[in-house]
């Protein structure tokens, strides 16, 4: 995808949070940069500060922790979604997990440094503050649902819900990653799938 198309996708993707008129867009876009990840390449690794907030124009990534030498996948992001090691990016602290491309992935990026400059730019500050606020609020709502699922639902119920709301994910992501995401082991997910099929 060429940069122009990526910018278009980005503009469209963030329209739910904030819209720029053409004049503002012209000021805004020079603060953006572009990058891509080949399959299995890492965007973020444990112990390093994450300097970018990204919008995925193509591809998919997984977020995972390493615990006792084992990888545990906690989340995924796909095209037209935002991606970052958010906590590390916001707090400027070493990241505690990994973000790895599951497919060939293309990104539009905002560096932390550029973000700060925009927050000091008289013509952008208010809009960027709002942008940041609305993104954060959006993610809080997602997190709220995710925590609620862990507290109120059994693994099987979480699986059934996922199968209902995002069936396609099973065609795209290896099942053992999804198992981790649901908070169970791959073996257990395999059993749940068999169980729920028979019913």
**In this structure, what token pair is assigned to residue 165?**
């709301």
- How many residues bind a copy of itself (CB under 8 A)? The answer is 33
- Residue 17-56 contact track with DNA, rule CB under 7 A, x = bound: ----------------------xx----------------
Binding partner at 164 among a copy of itself, DNA, none, C-beta below 5 to 8 Å by kind:
none
Angstrom distance (rounded) from CA 91 to CA 109: 18
Angstrom distance (rounded) from CA 81 to CA 103: 15
Among 5, 123, 129, 185, binds a copy of itself (CB under 8 A): 129
Q: Is 186 in the site for a copy of itself (CB under 8 A)?
A: no
Among 3, 65, 176, 193, binds a copy of itself (CB under 8 A): 65
Q: Is 187 in the site for DNA (CB under 7 A)?
A: yes
The piece of 11-19, 39-47, 146-154, 191-199 that touches a copy of itself (CB under 8 A) is 146-154
Q: Is 126 in the site for a copy of itself (CB under 8 A)?
A: yes
Q: Is 74 in the site for a copy of itself (CB under 8 A)?
A: yes
Q: Cβ closer to a copy of itself: 39 or 133?
A: 133
Q: Cβ closer to a copy of itself: 102 or 115?
A: 115
3-state secondary structure the chain: CCHHHHHHHHHHHCCCCCCCCHHHHHHHHHHEEEEEECCCCEEECCCCCCCEEEEEEECEEEEEEEECCEEEEEEEEECCCEECCHHHHHHCCCCCCEEEECCCEEEEEEEHHHHHHHHCCCCCHHHHHHHHHHHHHHHHHHHHHHHHHHHHCCHHHHHHHHHHHCCCHHHHCCHHHHHHHHCCCHHHHHHHHHHHHHC
Q: Is 101 in the site for DNA (CB under 7 A)?
A: no
Q: Cβ closer to DNA: 118 or 178?
A: 178
For the chain, the distance separating the N- and C-terminal CA atoms, rounded to the nearest angstrom, is 44
Site for a copy of itself in 81-110 (CB under 8 A): 86-87, 90-91, 96-97
Q: Contact residues for DNA (CB under 7 A)? A: 39-40, 154-156, 174-176, 183-194
């Amino acid at each position: 995808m060429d940069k122009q198309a990526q910018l278009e996708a980005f503009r469209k993707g963030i329209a739910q949070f904030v819209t720029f008129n053409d004049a503002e867009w012209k000021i805004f876009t020079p603060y953006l940069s572009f990058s891509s990840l080949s399959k299995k390449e890492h965007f973020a690794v444990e112990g390093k500060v994450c300097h970018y907030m990204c919008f995925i124009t193509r591809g998919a990534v997984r977020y995972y922790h390493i615990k006792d030498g084992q990888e545990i996948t906690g989340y995924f992001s796909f095209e037209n979604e935002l991606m970052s090691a958010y906590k590390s990016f916001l707090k400027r602290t070493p990241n505690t997990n990994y973000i790895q491309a599951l497919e060939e992935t293309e990104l539009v990026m905002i560096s932390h440094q550029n973000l700060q400059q925009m927050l000091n730019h008289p013509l952008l500050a208010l809009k960027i503050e709002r942008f940041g606020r609305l993104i954060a609020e959006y993610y809080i709502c997602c997190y709220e649902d995710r925590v609620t699922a862990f507290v109120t639902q059994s693994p099987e119920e979480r699986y059934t819900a996922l199968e209902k709301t995002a069936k396609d994910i099973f065609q795209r992501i290896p099942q053992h990653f999804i198992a981790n995401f649901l908070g169970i082991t791959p073996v257990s997910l395999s059993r749940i799938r068999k169980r729920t099929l028979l019913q």
